[in-house]
Structure 1
Amino acid sequence: MRRTPSLFNWKPMTAVTDSVALGLDFGTESARAVIVDRNGNELAVCESAYRHGQITETLPTSGAALPLHFALQHPADWIESAADATRKAIEQSGIDVDRVVGIGVDFTSCTMLPTTTDGTPLCALERFQNTPLAWPKLWKHHGAIEQTDRMNQIAKERNEAFMDRYGGTIGLEWFFPKMLETIDKAPEVAEAAEVWLEAGDWFVWQLVGCDATELPRSTCQAGYKALWSAETGYASDAYFTAVDPTLAAAARDKMPGRMLSPGQFAGTLCNASADRLGLPAGIAVAAATIDAHAAVPGVGEAEPGTLVMVMGTSSCHMLNARQGNPVDGVAGIVDGGILPGMFGYETGQAAVGDAFAWLLKLLNLDSFDQLAQDAIALPAGADGVMCLDWMNGCRTPLMDGTVKGAFSGLTLATTPAHMYRALLEASAFGVRWIVDVLRDGGIPVQRFVASGGLPHHNPAVVQVYADVLGSEIEVHPSQQGPAIGAAVLGMIAAGESKSGFTSVADAARAMAAVPESQKQIVKPNLDHEASYRELYHRYRKLADVMQTL
């Protein structure tokens, strides 16, 4: 006999128009939670710093010094900061938590870790808590130099086809070099590892609480950082065996799970995670995506040909295109890697905001305010001072972390403003080089959108970029592009019946696009066009010289 629900316990279903999504954005230093409704209203944005931050000098357990180039994180920080930020966002928004229909996650990548089959990070086990390579390796961990060189050499010797998707180079910060580093330097950790995975996938796994065989793996993270494609899967067993038989065995046996595109339904929020976050269980959870990539739907861009520039300490520039041409120097071309139905191209610059901060510190100055005013007042070309912006190596198009930056044309008349103007221009020339590489490869680049904190905190950067590119740049008003993008993906994971959206593109336009009348557009100073054309050629010549040193 059917039992009629008590009227005192019954709650009406949330109407589609009331639906909101939670976006969780995991950066290098903190986690952010944003609550967004289906019309794009940001109801709350809250941030929570990781208790241990970046672990780069000593292990928090033993205090032992870490080797050079190590950058680790504490997995408990991700859980604690996400819970703290989410609870604060719920309180700030004042919403009824039953309105939350979906959760999306973006994460720094490649940040990866080894775990047991139940998801316990090996660094949480007593036997490995003082072993550095048992800890999650942050995206910027550069300990796998030797392993990266070995993987590249063998891939080139074997003429591996997957290299075409990565501009001919496997990156130092990617998944398998970091796994191989552990195999080489901490074999006891590699042997004990039962699951290897990206941190974004690990966090989604914790949210949905499924068995390891069903853990959701992001095709975005795998496609850009782990040599995976929808057509062929991961790199071949023969290639991995040629590199190291233990690596091949780990790729075969220790990477269980389901491959899911960003926005695909990964499962529902389990009871344990619901209790931590202060949300009801059963909310739809989306497969993870890379933080910078989430900014594309996060700024409402769903069409091909727009370069979305996520500008922060470093910059990641993403472009969607209808065609999937191999392009030399572009390390990441993935079918559906950013948005479904298009090829996603990932490019980037290794030092942008942190290069500006470095110069400020070097010059012993406290603020950019006066420095920026003085720099913008100078003529294009900074009175002959030129900079090469490789303070942390060159990502696109060289994929070489060993090359060095430079200043040239210094005289006794050079001022801090000259050096800052030259660095701004160098960063802009780096973007122009990326655009040239894409266009030379047959990939249209038609529009530019700037996102992230840097365009808002430092408008001089965007103006110089516009002048060098000779093109308008739209500055998106939200400083939370990745978190908004994660919320968009969470809304899609909830399904049309709860979100009202049938595609990521539709949700992105509704939740993140800016009306034409409200767009903030930075226009180029075309009087500088001829000067910057010549200065760009000089920049490229300086780059050629520095590559030989």
Structure 2
Amino acid sequence: MSSVVSLGLDFGTESVRAILVDRTGQQRGVASCQYKHGQILQSLPGGSDPLPPRFALQCPGDWIESAAQATRQAMKAAHLSADSVVGIGVDFTSCTMLPTTIDGTPLCEVQQFRQTPLAWPKLWKHHGAIDQTERMNSIARQRNESFLGRYGGTIGLEWFFPKMLETIELAPDVAAAAEVWLEAGDWFVWRLVACEANDLTRSSCQAGYKAMWSASEGYPSQAYFQAVHSQLAEAVDNRLPGVMRAPGESAGGLCKSMADQFGLAVNTPVATAIIDAHSAVPGVGAAEPGTLVMVMGTSSCHMLNATEFADVPGVAGVVQGGILPELFGYETGQAAVGDAFAWLLRLLNLDSFDAVAESALQLPPGAEGVSCLDWMNGCRTPLMDGNVRGAFTGLGLEHGPEHLYLALMEASAFGLRWIVELLRQGGVPINRFVATGGLPHHNRAFVEVYADVLGETIEIHPSTQGPAVGAAVLGMLAAGSEVTGFANVKEAATAMANDAQQKSEFIAPRTERSDAYASLYQRYRSLADVVQTTQSDQ
């Protein structure tokens, strides 16, 4: 049974990663493949008209082609036969969503809509629905909708229904043609199993965190949607077919055409999709409550499981069983982390931070007076406002790139400290911090700043593939206990995420710097208050 292998497919913003993990945690093969069209930010493929501001789209064909290529490469590297893989797990960026026909054809692949931007999948970071989000929030608050309590009182700009409403209002011909609206992760799983629309699997994780769905109440009421827009109410009632399932449940078996394209066996069980950041929780073996898993990449998502529900303002979502069974999964996040560093590189005209990193780390806490607010892509937690913008203050002629670099790292760490304070003040325990994703392994100094600002020890999990391993864990669950020997996700996560050949690294706070950050954190909070107030008045 030790040779039983599961495939995890981890869909990120720029690429997809395929990983093959056996039940002991050994990573047998890993490969990644960039999307041909990447993030579609400037103009549509084959077109020249500029996209509106804040648009971020993707090409659905890229997801299939890149995943198939990465899977074949991983299988070749692992020297595995097709029948060695007993299950397939999928994690995906969210909310990335799209409209399709009843047979699953994306509307952007229909000739008449190829050059209509809102017919294309909207990437998670698409921020075109500002007006729609504000109106949905206003009406929900006026009606005192019960679902608001699960989301810190705010519907997020990046979520499912604001993006639907944006299309209904700005591209009515696309909305009229849309027979199915769904998350990209659910669409990909649907493609793998090739079932009828009424039988497609919708992830309770994706729906719970991004579409205000709960097991007890379902989606928000028709009365609420009618108050927002009658066509939105109609679409919710008639254009969201499918069956809600939890991550790790089987969505069906791999169809022949996809089996041939991926080089896998027909009828291999495919797990229900999970949000990419949430997948990192089983991926690092954090199967117990009280562990904050910090998935640090293009943006950061901080996941926490608890035994009780707490109404915490600004939390992006609390879903029972949304991450692990029987626990309340809390999601918080920061909208620009890796993206903010990439922006600063472009601004400074640098290829990397290597040239300034050493001098930046020799600076005292506070970057010699330079402060930063890292809201370059809005603020997710605690403001849930994609419209606010960042700032650098305290700049003088004596400051250089190293000051900006350190100030940006500190701003990101201060944002996390704010999140931790909110959760703890709301009565949600946090007793362990685990960092995963690309940034912790590529930038140890960044984690050191985090530890100093938090005043807490941070564990860098040895795997650089936390979400991908988590997807493989869920693929193993979909295969069934009789095949794998795992009775539940806790058993599978504990065994598969803790490879004995790899050890975690623990980054402890440095007392002198940590003490200095206590007052500097208050400076950050004051700057946040000023910027938020100033921008809201404009």
Report the TM-score when normalising by structure 1.
Answer: 0.95
Task: Give 2:260's aligned amino acid.
Answer: D
Select the residue among 455, 467, 477 that pairs with 2:452: 467
Q: Tell whether the 8 Å contact from 2:127 to 2:158 is kept in structure 1 after alignment.
A: yes
Corresponding position: 1:47 with 2:32: yes
- CA offsets 1:119-156 (integer angstroms, 9 cap, x no match): 11111112222222111111111111111111111101
Counterpart in the other structure of 1:526: 511
Separation in structure 1 between the aligned mates of residue 273 and residue 105 of structure 2, nearest angstrom: 19
Corresponding position: 1:333 with 2:312: no
Counterpart in the other structure of 2:342: 357
Helix, strand or coil at the partner of 1:17: coil
- CA offsets 1:313-335 (integer angstroms, 9 cap, x no match): 21111101111111101011100
| Offset of residue 516 of structure 1 | 11
- Between 516-525 and 339-348, the greater mean CA deviation after superposition: 516-525
| Offset of residue 255 of structure 1 | 0.5
**Within 5 Å, which residues of 2 pair with 1:449-528?**
449-513=434-498, 518-528=503-513
Separation in structure 2 between the aligned mates of residue 187 and residue 119 of structure 1, nearest angstrom: 19
**Within 5 Å, which residues of 2 pair with 1:338-487?**
338-487=323-472
| Offset of residue 476 of structure 1 | 1.1
| Offset of residue 514 of structure 1 | 5.5
Separation in structure 2 between the aligned mates of residue 467 and residue 226 of structure 1, nearest angstrom: 36
Corresponding position: 1:202 with 2:187: yes
Corresponding position: 1:310 with 2:298: no
Task: Give 2:12's aligned amino acid.
Answer: G
Q: Tell whether the 8 Å contact from 1:205 to 1:215 is kept in structure 2 after alignment.
A: yes
- CA offsets 1:336-375 (integer angstroms, 9 cap, x no match): 1111110111111111122122223322333222322111
Separation in structure 1 between the aligned mates of residue 352 and residue 166 of structure 2, nearest angstrom: 40
RMSD: 1.3
Counterpart in the other structure of 1:20: 5
| Offset of residue 543 of structure 1 | 0.8
Q: Tell whether the 8 Å contact from 2:192 to 2:254 is kept in structure 1 after alignment.
A: yes
Task: Give 1:389's aligned amino acid.
Answer: D
Separation in structure 1 between the aligned mates of residue 522 and residue 108 of structure 2, nearest angstrom: 49
- Between 311-320 and 52-61, the greater mean CA deviation after superposition: 52-61
Task: Give 1:454's aligned amino acid.
Answer: L
Q: Tell whether the 8 Å contact from 1:327 to 1:437 is kept in structure 2 after alignment.
A: yes
Select the residue among 46, 50, 67 that pairs with 2:52: 67
- CA offsets 1:245-303 (integer angstroms, 9 cap, x no match): 11101101111111000001111111111011011101111000001110111111101
| Offset of residue 513 of structure 1 | 2.5
| Offset of residue 409 of structure 1 | 2.2
Corresponding position: 1:151 with 2:136: yes
**Within 5 Å, which residues of 2 pair with 1:117-132?**
117-132=102-117
Q: Tell whether the 8 Å contact from 1:300 to 1:514 is kept in structure 2 after alignment.
A: no
Corresponding position: 1:285 with 2:274: no
Distance 1:516 1:385, change over 3 A: farther
Separation in structure 1 between the aligned mates of residue 56 and residue 378 of structure 2, nearest angstrom: 17
Helix, strand or coil at the partner of 1:482: helix
Distance 1:250 1:261, change over 3 A: same
Distance 1:516 1:169, change over 3 A: farther
Distance 1:131 1:360, change over 3 A: closer
- Between 129-138 and 459-468, the greater mean CA deviation after superposition: 129-138
Helix, strand or coil at the partner of 1:117: coil
Separation in structure 2 between the aligned mates of residue 67 and residue 385 of structure 1, nearest angstrom: 33
Separation in structure 1 between the aligned mates of residue 88 and residue 305 of structure 2, nearest angstrom: 24
Distance 1:65 1:404, change over 3 A: closer
Separation in structure 2 between the aligned mates of residue 231 and residue 348 of structure 1, nearest angstrom: 25
Q: Tell whether the 8 Å contact from 1:115 to 1:194 is kept in structure 2 after alignment.
A: yes
Q: Larger radius of gyration, structure 1 or 2?
A: 1
Select the residue among 197, 200, 214 that pairs with 1:229: 214
Counterpart in the other structure of 2:525: 540
Q: Tell whether the 8 Å contact from 2:204 to 2:247 is kept in structure 1 after alignment.
A: yes
Task: Give 1:464's aligned amino acid.
Answer: V
Select the residue among 303, 309, 331 that pairs with 1:324: 309
| Offset of residue 305 of structure 1 | 0.6
Corresponding position: 1:295 with 2:258: no
Corresponding position: 1:37 with 2:22: yes
Q: Tell whether the 8 Å contact from 1:44 to 1:93 is kept in structure 2 after alignment.
A: yes
Counterpart in the other structure of 1:85: 70
Select the residue among 236, 240, 254 that pairs with 1:269: 254
Counterpart in the other structure of 1:214: 199
Separation in structure 2 between the aligned mates of residue 66 and residue 519 of structure 1, nearest angstrom: 44
Separation in structure 1 between the aligned mates of residue 47 and residue 372 of structure 2, nearest angstrom: 42
- Between 346-355 and 506-515, the greater mean CA deviation after superposition: 506-515
Task: Give 1:120's aligned amino acid.
Answer: T
Counterpart in the other structure of 1:246: 231
Separation in structure 1 between the aligned mates of residue 226 and residue 519 of structure 2, nearest angstrom: 49
- CA offsets 1:56-81 (integer angstroms, 9 cap, x no match): 21121443332222111111111111
Separation in structure 2 between the aligned mates of residue 418 and residue 254 of structure 1, nearest angstrom: 51
Helix, strand or coil at the partner of 1:106: strand
Helix, strand or coil at the partner of 2:2: helix
Contiguous gaps of at least 5 residues in structure 2: none
Report the TM-score when normalising by structure 2.
Answer: 0.97
Structure 1 runs (4+) greater than 4 angstroms displaced? 514-517
Q: Tell whether the 8 Å contact from 2:25 to 2:499 is kept in structure 1 after alignment.
A: no
